Amino acid sequence: MVKLSKRLQMIADRVPVGSKVADIGSDHALLPTYLAQQGIIVAAVAGEVNPGPFEAAQKQVLESGLSKIIQVRSGDGLAVIEAGEVNVITIAGMGGSLMASILEAGKSKLPGVQHLILQPNVGEDHVRRWLLANGWKLESETILEEDGKIYEILTAVTADTEERGTLEALYEERLLPGGVTVSKERLQQMGPYLINEAPEVWFMKWESELKKLAMIVDQLKLSTAEASIAKTEQVSQEMHEIKEVLACLQKVKP
């Protein structure tokens, strides 16, 4: 039986029983193998564009005796599936910008898909913006630390016609209990649900991000070019707003 990492286990826990799942960028096909072994899914496609991981996925599925349930396919993004073939898509372990571009390029494959379970390594705001722009309802967010790295998992569901008009409400400028106003841009960056919950690991993530932004500002200050000066002001303002949110939420934590 396959044993998953904490990160993959949290993704697996969000897959509904009885699903037909496409795991895009499946690597060794550990996630679909686990889901099949646990009886959670009835069918799966493990998609992989790189030859090495594709072969590793084939070997994993073959040795697990799951070839009738899991099909390993070579291809880029959602090109490995047909429209209507699956009702759940999982994508994990890549940047949010790439993830959004994969979803955008494969929009014709999304009819019939009911759940997107997405774990971007960075650039979560790209994913949130894509979901909002394309009529997907961000249903939940979770954050975890594993082996010194911090990951966010975003789960989205299809929104019906009536719900589409209310999707923007999740990112409407809001006043936090501590008195700080959070903009739409900052909610998309820091997570509308995560800001509400503000778990300790989330604070850890944003303290780390502030250090990275401070290093960017230090580098920008070495240049006197107008573009660098403007960028310095922009990043400094971003840091100020993030610090305000963190300080506000630290005060109201029980």
Furthest-apart CA atoms within the chain: distance in Å = 63
Q: Which two tokens stand for residue 164?
A: 């589409």
What pTM value is reported for the model? Answer: 0.94
Task: Give the architecture (CATH level 2) of 6-168.
Answer: 3-Layer(aba) Sandwich (3.40)
Whole-number percent of the chain with pLDDT over 70: 99
Q: Specify the DSSP class assigned to residue 13.
A: T
Q: Which of 21, 94, 14, 20 is nearest to 53 (CA)?
A: 94
Mention every residue, 6+ apart, whose C-beta is less than 8 A from residue 112: 83, 84, 85, 86, 87
176-215: pLDDT as tens digits: 988 899 999 999 999 999 999 999 999 999 999 999 999 9
> 């969000």: which residue's tokens?
14
Judge contact between 19 and 85, C-beta under 8 A: no
Topology match between the domains 6-168 and 174-252: no
Sheet strands side by side (includes 115-120): 70-74, 41-48, 19-24, 88-94, 115-120, 149-158, 136-146
pLDDT in tens, 211-227: 999 999 999 999 999 99
Query: Quick count: other Cβ atoms within 10 Å of Cβ 225?
Result: 9
Low-confidence residues of the chain: pLDDT under 70: 252-254
> Closest by alpha carbon to 193, among 157, 158, 154, 164?
154
pLDDT score recorded for residue 178: 80
| Domain positions in the chain | 6-168, 174-252
Are 34 and 2 within 8 A, CB to CB? Answer: yes
Question: Which pLDDT score is estimated for 254?
Answer: 56
**What pLDDT is attached to residue 251?**
75
Q: Judging by DSSP bridges, how do beta strands 174-175 and 181-182 pair with one another?
A: antiparallel
Q: At what angle do helices 51-63 and 30-37 cross, to 10 degrees?
A: 20
**Backbone phi, psi, residue 144, to 5°:** -145, 160
Query: CA–CA distance from 94 to each of 46, 119, 162, 244 (Å)?
Result: 16, 8, 32, 29
Fold category of 174-252 in CATH = Helix Hairpins (1.10.287)
The identity of residue 72, as a single letter, is V
